[in-house]
Amino acid sequence: MRSTREPIDAASSGPEARATFSAPKTYIGDLGEVQQVAEIDQVRLQAYLQQNIEGYAGPMKIQQFQGGQSNLTYLIETPSKKYVLRRQPRGVLLKSAHAVDREFRIMQALAAVPNFPVPRPMVLCTDSDVLGSMFYVMSHVPGRIFWDCRMPDLSVADRAAVFDSANATLAQLHTVDYAALGVADYGKPGNYFERQLSRWSRQFNESRTRDIPEMDQLIEWLPSALPPDDGLSSIIHGDYSFHNLLFHPTEPRVVAVIDWELSTLGHPIGDLMYHMMEWYRPPGVDARGTLSTADLKALGVPSQEEYIQRYCERTGFAIEVDLPFYRAFNLFRTAAILQGIAYRLQDGNAASANAGEIANNIGPLAKAAWRMANGD
């Protein structure tokens, strides 16, 4: 994952774009030319958007967000407006992966929730004849993405407010009445972790490019360490991390949650503890860094216990998270996701030019997960 020190005007999906306003510097992915593997027929797209988006008027300029590792994400700029397009990669896809129609559906539902920060979905195209794969278009939301979880360019007060806003937004998501939104069928109720283990174990094996002993050990151990199912269920984002949160250009508050590819109905603690990998992720396995070796008080960042307590106050949930399972599970899940990137890289179908660098982190993540499974 490349990073830069440029201020940005981030798009409403995928990592982030450069901007013209003055804002604190952030670590971000680049907005650049469309890669050959991601080329778009602009004539077809122009005709489609003119027909399906009210008020759309070209000509268009298209750039691609380079940092994303899954669905392809583009900024479409016209003389009067900006849009963001998300589409599936071409070629053979792993089962259940790259479901942009699911992204569109959940964003459409959440757009109806008062004050919930999500880009406005505008049109879904399931006809692969238009661009070669399914895609959707949504509103563009100006903002900042903090790539480095220590956010070195923020003041202590702003950093504390950024973390608190992320906490409040996640709590709001997890307390939405999803049945009232019409998405009660968006996932299966109960046994969330069991289903997730089955999914990511299967995906790892189907996309295996080399043997990693610790992944095989985790696939065997994690089902035996499953916590009891307490029946809690919510919409979960699935990749709720600071790189998928857009913050106001000058204020420390979330203005959009992006990249809903891994969203489903499931146990909120799964989302919370994935988000909290920032605190327990070992050094050296992710360009976003880690808080595990940081002086949290000096940074203005709450401790894990304080962050969880504030989340529980906001949601009303009483949850016990001090189990090796949750940390091991989320590091394992991340490694399995990265294995899918490695598999697409091998087939020449990876969404990012630096996918090879990302794939190198699979082994270290698996080793860290196995250490945590053993209480280290």
Count Cα neighbours of 64 within 13 Å in the Cβ-side half-sphere: 20
Q: Which domains does the chain have, with CATH numbers?
A: 31-139 (3.30.200.20), 156-373 (3.90.1200.10)
Cβ-proximal residues to 360 (8 Å cutoff; 6+ apart), any chain? none
- Digit-by-digit pLDDT tens for the chain (376 residues) are 222 223 333 343 333 332 222 233 333 446 777 766 678 899 999 999 999 999 999 899 999 887 655 788 999 999 999 999 999 876 555 555 568 999 999 999 999 999 999 999 999 999 989 998 899 999 999 999 998 999 999 999 999 999 999 999 999 999 999 999 999 999 987 889 999 999 999 999 988 888 899 999 999 999 999 998 888 999 999 999 999 999 999 999 999 999 999 999 999 999 999 999 999 998 888 888 899 999 999 999 999 999 999 999 999 998 877 778 999 999 999 999 888 888 877 666 555 555 566 778 899 999 999 999 987 7
- The encoded tokens of residue 175 equal 């307390």
CB 193 within 8 A of CB 269: no
Q: Output b/e per residue, 327-363; b: 16+ Cβ within 10 A.
A: bbbbbbbbbbbbbbbbbbbeeebbbbebbeebbebbb
Question: What's the predicted TM-score (pTM) here?
Answer: 0.85
